[in-house]
Structure 1
Amino acid sequence: MLVAARELLASEGPGAVTHQRVSQEAGVGRATVYRHWPRSEQLLLDVMEGADLPLFKDPETPVRPWLHRQLRQLADELMPPEVAGLSLAMMQSALWDAEMARRRDESTRTIKERIHAAVRSAVAGQELETDAGPADLVSMLVGPIVYRTAMQRDVVPDGLIDRLLDGIGTWHR
């Protein structure tokens, strides 16, 4: 089942990893998938466990257009209702489930480290001047995208991504 779910994740993204689709791809009954993963967020987290998060990996220069593409991809991946709903469910579960909190913390730490590395590269290359720390950078760049897609159920226009990037410091083009 996990192999089938990982293939769905790789080929179609997180929205495809549902109990129904995993049961179809694995050739098992849906009840079998539910027995192992009663909640959708548990299924997706187990599928993602050990898989390398592709976003914000290996920054390229110039950093700003690369970061814009990464934020665009994040926004597009969070847009389907099932992914937005699952993201919110995972955040909620992490409030009382220690394992979910550990996994959330691991993911957010990875994103924070990668964004901070990209920004350090932009600063070192004199492409960007900023005094924002790692936690603020993630909050300023990723937070509004999660809010727009998951909470408002609305598209993230490229203009908003540009404004988010402008908000983290002074870019020298």
Structure 2
Amino acid sequence: MTQPGRPAGPSPETEAVVLTAALELLLTEGAVSLSAQRLHAATGVSRSTIYRHWPTPREVLSALIRVAPRRAAALSGKVGPDLHAEVDVLCDRLRDKPVDGFLQAIVAGAAWDATLAELRRRYVDDLLAPFRTALAPTGLSGPALEDAVSAIVAPLLLDALLLNRPAARERAHRTVDTVLDGLRQ
């Protein structure tokens, strides 16, 4: 038996309209633009619907992270080639406006809204996860695994977030080789 009342979540069409507009606003105006009033003006979806499903900018960002495509390279089980493939995927993602722009906006947003820091961590963690997976056959764990992942990824994020330049793919490939050489010793 079906209970009368409002559905638990937005319809797929409403969600697509609101989140598409939210991403565009985020990329052009930053996280501060994700208010219900601004989303209503951009989409025509009622403010009450937006407030019900995405009551804060944090909820909008969380929904965007949830629906963001996660791309990873196909793993061969060979650590070196897998890490190189993951570097290429991350460099491509950081070059593409949605990922680069989203990452910049969520980092900036976390500066004015401490609740966004957890979302920033979650989003970055999603970017790092394929590197952890590719390094799994080495047996690394804990801090040693995180150090290896950071050594490879941190310079790419530095390029994208702080230096506003394309991720240095060739340097990242050299870093992978350096990390792997260190593991062999």
Which category describes the TM-score, using the shorter chain as reference length? Answer: 0.5 to 0.7
1:48 and 2:65 equivalent? Answer: yes
Deviation at 1:67, TM superposition (A): 2.0
Q: Provide the C-alpha distance between the structure 1 equivalents of 2:93 and 2:125, rounded to a whole number of angstroms.
A: 19
Q: May I ask how many residue pairs the two structures share in their alignment? A: 151
Partner residue in 2 for 1:119: 135
Structure-1 separation of matches of 2:82 and 2:68: 19
Which one-letter code corresponds to 2:42 in the other structure? R
Counterpart residue number, 2:150: 139
Return the offset for 1:93.
Answer: 2.7
**Residue 86 of structure 1 is aligned with which of 91, 102, 105?**
102
CA distance, structure 2, for counterparts of residue 93 and residue 166 of structure 1: 35
Q: 1:57 deviation in Å?
A: 7.1
After superposition, the CA RMSD in angstroms is 4.1
- What corresponds to 1:11 in structure 2? none
C-alpha distance in structure 1 between counterparts of 2:112 and 2:97, whole Å: 24
Q: 2:161 aligns with which of 150, 157, 162?
A: 150
- Give me the whole-angstrom Cα distance separating, in 1, the residues matched to 2:142 and 2:63: 36
2:31 is matched with none
| 1:19 maps to which of 22, 25, 44 | 25
Contact 1:88 1:150 in 2 (8 A): yes
Determine whether 1:3 maps to 2:20.
no
In the other structure, the counterpart of 1:30 is 42
Cα separation, 1, equivalents of 2:143 and 2:178: 10
Question: CA 1:117–1:147 in 2, change beyond 3 Å: closer, same or farther?
Answer: same
Q: Could you tell me the TM-score, scaled by structure 1's length? A: 0.61
- Aligned residue type for 2:177: D
The offset of 1:45, in angstroms, is 3.8
Cα distance in 2 for residues equivalent to 1:82 and 1:115? 21
**How many percent of aligned residue pairs carry the same amino acid?**
19
- Highest Rg: 1 or 2? 2
Consecutive unaligned residues of structure 2, counting only runs of 5 or more, are 1-13, 28-39
Q: Counterpart of 2:91 in 1: which secondary structure?
A: helix
SS at match of 1:17: helix
> Structure 1 pair 82/113, CA: closer, same or farther in 2 (3 Å)?
closer
Q: Which residue of 2 aligns with 1:62?
A: 78
Cα gap change, 1:85/1:107 in structure 2, threshold over 3 Å: closer, same or farther? closer
Change (3 A) 1:163 1:132: farther
Unmatched 5+ stretches in structure 1: 9-15, 22-27
